[in-house]
């Protein structure tokens, strides 16, 4: 059973805090193993990558077969049905259109002192995309990571995807092709992350690595951070639905289950202004769990971490939402825009009853890589900006230096940084000659 | 002696690679100590913070004196000279004007399917700013961290600054006041970072922590990352100057020394098209080191990590610059804008001989918190965006769901995520009734 909370009950604060702080995931500590793997790849390069991959994935790679050839990708793509291909193409097109709007603008201006200031954005030269193998090998994740990189202007995008027992998902390769991925390697785990970060004879190093993975991949990304950039380390998925009584309980139940079915550690929460509706949704969830293919995953998630919270009004719903800072937020109320305006912290908001969260996972356009574990308080979903960086620009005219240089001299002196001050003084002296 | 390299010599590639990979900093491994400190603060709150601070800083704080009162700040501010205050005010005003231009725009549009999409930006609710005590207690760093936070719209900005032996820099407190810092606490070290991240009875927790610090502070920031956001972990400072022979060797020497004087691990590199000019600069550096107050720091930095590289042309200079991806880049050449356009990776560019890097440290306007250790390949200097996060917005009309829903159903099915598909199917069924 999920927990049922009532925001007006005297012990609510205590129960809600417990819900917020519940530890949902026990990541195994694989850091020492991962450190060894990275050191091995740095030392032995391809040989280490191949040895580890052959062992973990039960395959027989050689340096010549590390990379998946264009011909292999072509062949795999022909195995995809026309319907699946059309769906993937629609998704790619919509994701590209959304992310193209995120491209930031360069700026430059001259201020009243005569200083010309500004910044410009540039793309990361090379990026690496980790794609899990096996069950969690999602073509949608390839689109969501690769398209922003290519829209940003990343010149070289290398993807790694393990092929345990030589099985590869043709849809993943088609997604890579539709996204413009430049190179694909059939490797995975910490060794693949190390190869992307440090390079081997076969794989040139990249500057930024994104994409989801298991505990080994997460630990490897943490370890190579600094040498390369990484995206966030994602935790288990979450959804918060705020719904009034004027909804179909079954729809809301399915929305909650669409996160719960990802992972036993996923969390689905309903906040409703109507306690009876909350009970109906919980009943609808149980009913759906009777037949759902992934009930063995969604059931434990819902029972261990699910919650139904009754609130007296939508203002309370907004306040609780900010404390949860959900990854996905669905607003199924009469005026979802008004409620949205009251909320500060959420990764993605889905407005109204015709916008199930699953639309956002695939074809809506916005990115589905979103901040989990309350990190929407301080971070954002993946975007074009994650594959770009900004260089600031300053140009002083002689008169600008004359105008603001003395203040710099003064501050350098107050910080006892003499050479800083002298670098200005020497120039001002020339100007005042 | 710094190294002298010639880009046309046969062994250049090897020497340049060695220069790029030189390890300049041996951070002590304080992670275990820091883990204990954080655990202690989480358990005992203020008591732990006070105990540790009293020990490390040789002070006698109580819960009542943890926070620096407004009256104390006022009194400290009166100790600042009118000239210092004017310089700090000019710096604050220019930094604010520059960063105000970084405020991102919200977007919303309706596409041809009938889907309304967009995003909006919001500020982090509460941020914490770490300011080192003692010698490295720089008022300019307070401005550079606090002003972007306040421009972003951060509601509550809490600053921590240790006061070893009860000594506090009045300029730091004035900078805090000019920047709009809301709370100041006289604590430092890993215990201050832990207090900001987890909160104590006296200090409410924040969502994001920025600011420089020693190895303990850096390790603590790494450890609390995830619970809160952090800025980058900065390494020792770096400058690369690209200069032709038409420059004053002494000016360039001072620019190189203005980074070298920060830290024995700092790195100053000159790339020049004229070998004789390179030698003149090296001589000017030695001459300045004879009298420079911080020669005991700048000297070892220059001798151990400094470099003078001669190149045959500016195109080579641009290519080498991209490989160095310097934190600070000064372009002292006839057409600095043309050269700048050839360069992809740098934290901040200073164009022309009238723009010494020190201007950017204080009064230029752009931020002086910049990516070090080649991380300008994938990351940017501190900005307003570091204190904001983006929420994506999606709203489907019934016709939009009818248009794109089937593709989502198809992809959900291909990923074996049944509830995802059903959440769309249930709604489409209603629409098609």
Per the CB < 8 A criterion, the answer to whether B48 and B40 are in contact is yes
Compute the distance between CA of residue B400 and CA of residue B255 in angstroms, rounded to an integer.
59
Per the CB < 8 A criterion, the answer to whether A272 and A321 are in contact is no
**B9 touches A at CB < 8 Å:** no
Could you tell me which chain B residue has the CA closest to the CA of A125? Answer: B377
Kindly give the interhelix angle for B398-414 and A139-152, rounded to the nearest 10 degrees. Answer: 110
Could you tell me which chain A residue has the CA closest to the CA of B340? Answer: A393
Closest CA to A161 of A185, A197, A145: A185
| Angle CA A45–A49–A51, to nearest 5 | 115
pLDDT at B233: 81
What string of H, E and C letters represents the secondary structure of A112-180? CCCEEEEEEEEECCEEEEECCCHHHCCHHHHHHHHHHHHHHCCCEEEEECCCHHHCCCHHHHHHHHHHC
In this prediction, the residues of chain B whose per-residue pLDDT falls under 70 are 135
Compute the distance between CA of residue A341 and CA of residue B147 in angstroms, rounded to an integer.
26
Compute the distance between CA of residue B52 and CA of residue B113 in angstroms, rounded to an integer.
60
Binding residues of A for NAD(+): 130, 191, 214
pLDDT at A23: 80
Taking residue B157's Cβ as centre, other Cβ atoms within 10 Å add up to: 26
Residue B81 tokens read as: 């000279």
Q: Find the CB nearest B396 among A354, A371, A397.
A: A354
Helix (H) or strand (E) holding A57: helix A46-57
Q: What is the interface size between A and B, counted as CB pairs within 8 Å?
A: 367
**A363 touches B at CB < 8 Å:** yes
- Which of helix, strand or coil describes residue A424? helix
Residue B278 tokens read as: 């390179």
* Four-CA torsion B27, B325, A211, A67, nearest 10 degrees: -110
What residues contact B291, with CB distance under 8 A and at least 6 apart? none
Active site residues of B: 327-328
Instruction: Measure Cα distances from B336 to A182, B6, B310, B332, B333 in Å.
Output: 34, 22, 18, 7, 5
**B405 touches A at CB < 8 Å:** yes
* Four-CA torsion A380, A381, A385, A388, nearest 10 degrees: 110
Q: Find the CB nearest A378 among B377, B389, B415.
A: B389
Instruction: Give me the residues of B, 225-244, that contact A with CB < 8 A.
Output: 226, 228-229, 233
Share of chain B above pLDDT 70, in %: 100
CB contact under 8 A, A419 and B359: no
Domains of chain B as residue ranges with CATH: 3-24+235-365 (3.40.50.1980), 31-101+123-230 (3.40.50.1980), 397-432 (1.20.5.1300)
Instruction: Give me the residues of A, 109-128, that contact B with CB < 8 A.
Output: 109, 111, 115-117, 119, 122, 124-125
Compute the distance between CA of residue B59 and CA of residue B72 in angstroms, rounded to an integer.
17
Q: How far is A394 from chain B (nearest CA, A)?
A: 5
Chain centre distance of CA B212? 8
Q: Find the CB nearest A414 among B171, B357, B366.
A: B171
Helix ranges restricted to H, B22-100: 31-44, 46-57, 70-78, 82-100
Residue A281 tokens read as: 């949704």
Residue-level pLDDT, tens digit, chain A, 433 residues: 899 999 999 999 999 999 998 888 777 789 899 999 999 999 999 999 999 999 999 999 999 999 999 999 999 999 999 999 999 999 999 999 999 999 999 999 999 999 999 999 999 999 999 999 877 789 999 999 999 999 999 999 999 999 999 999 999 999 999 999 999 999 999 999 999 999 999 999 999 999 999 999 999 998 999 899 999 888 899 999 999 999 999 999 999 999 999 999 999 999 999 999 999 999 999 999 999 999 999 999 999 999 999 999 999 999 999 999 999 999 999 999 999 999 999 999 999 999 999 999 999 999 999 999 999 999 999 999 999 999 999 999 999 999 999 999 999 999 999 999 999 999 999 998 7
pLDDT at B398: 97
State the DSSP string of B258-272: HHHTT-TT-EEEEEE
CB contact under 8 A, B411 and A87: yes
Instruction: Give me the residues of B, 39-78, that contact A with CB < 8 A.
Output: none
Assign residue B396 a region (left: φ > 0; alpha: ψ between -120 and 50; beta: otherwise). beta
**B416 touches A at CB < 8 Å:** yes
Residue A238 tokens read as: 């979450």
Closest CA to B419 of A287, A62, A395: A287
Q: Is B191 known to sit in a ligand binding site?
A: yes
């Amino acid at each position: 059973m999920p927990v049922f909370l009532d925001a007006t009950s005297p012990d609510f604060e205590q129960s809600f805090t417990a819900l917020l702080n519940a530890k949902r995931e026990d990541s195994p500590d694989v850091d020492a193993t991962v450190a060894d793997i990275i050191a091995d790849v740095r030392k032995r390069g391809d040989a280490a990558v191949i040895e580890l991959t052959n062992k973990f994935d039960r395959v027989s790679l050689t340096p010549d077969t590390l990379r998946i050839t264009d011909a292999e990708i072509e062949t795999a793509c022909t195995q995809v049905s026309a319907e699946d291909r059309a769906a993937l193409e629609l998704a790619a097109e919509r994701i590209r259109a959304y992310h193209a709007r995120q491209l930031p603008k360069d700026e430059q201006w001259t201020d009243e002192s005569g200083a010309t200031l500004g910044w410009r954005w540039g793309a990361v030269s090379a990026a690496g995309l980790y794609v899990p193998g096996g069950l969690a090998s999602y073509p949608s994740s390839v689109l969501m990571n690769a398209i922003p990189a290519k829209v940003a202007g990343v010149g070289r995008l290398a993807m790694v995807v393990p092929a345990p027992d030589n099985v590869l998902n043709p849809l993943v390769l088609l997604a890579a092709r539709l996204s413009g991925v430049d190179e694909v390697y059939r490797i995975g785990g910490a060794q693949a992350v190390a190869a992307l970060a440090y390079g081997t004879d076969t794989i040139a190093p990249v500057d930024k690595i994104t994409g989801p993975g298991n505990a080994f991949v997460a630990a490897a990304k943490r370890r190579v951070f600094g040498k390369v950039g990484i995206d966030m380390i994602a935790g288990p998925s979450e959804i918060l639905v705020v719904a009034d009584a004027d909804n179909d309980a079954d729809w809301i139940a399915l929305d909650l289950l669409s996160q719960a079915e990802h992972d036993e550690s996923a969390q689905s929460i309903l906040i409703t202004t109507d306690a009876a509706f909350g009970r109906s949704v919980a009943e609808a969830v149980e009913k759906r769990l009777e037949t759902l293919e992934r009930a063995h995953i969604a059931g434990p998630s819902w029972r261990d971490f699910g919650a139904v919270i009754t609130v007296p009004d939508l203002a309370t719903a907004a306040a609780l939402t900010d404390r949860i800072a959900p990854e996905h937020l669905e607003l199924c109320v009469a005026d979802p825009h008004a409620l949205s305006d009251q909320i500060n912290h959420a990764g993605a908001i889905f407005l109204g009853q015709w916008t199930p969260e699953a639309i956002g996972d695939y074809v809506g356009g916005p990115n589905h890589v979103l901040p989990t574990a309350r990190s929407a308080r301080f971070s954002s979903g993946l975007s074009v900006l994650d594959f770009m960086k900004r260089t600031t620009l300053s140009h002083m005219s002689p008169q600008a230096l004359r105008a603001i240089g003395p203040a710099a001299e003064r501050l350098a002196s107050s910080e006892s940084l003499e050479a800083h001050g002298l670098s200005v003084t020497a120039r001002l002296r020339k100007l005042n000659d």
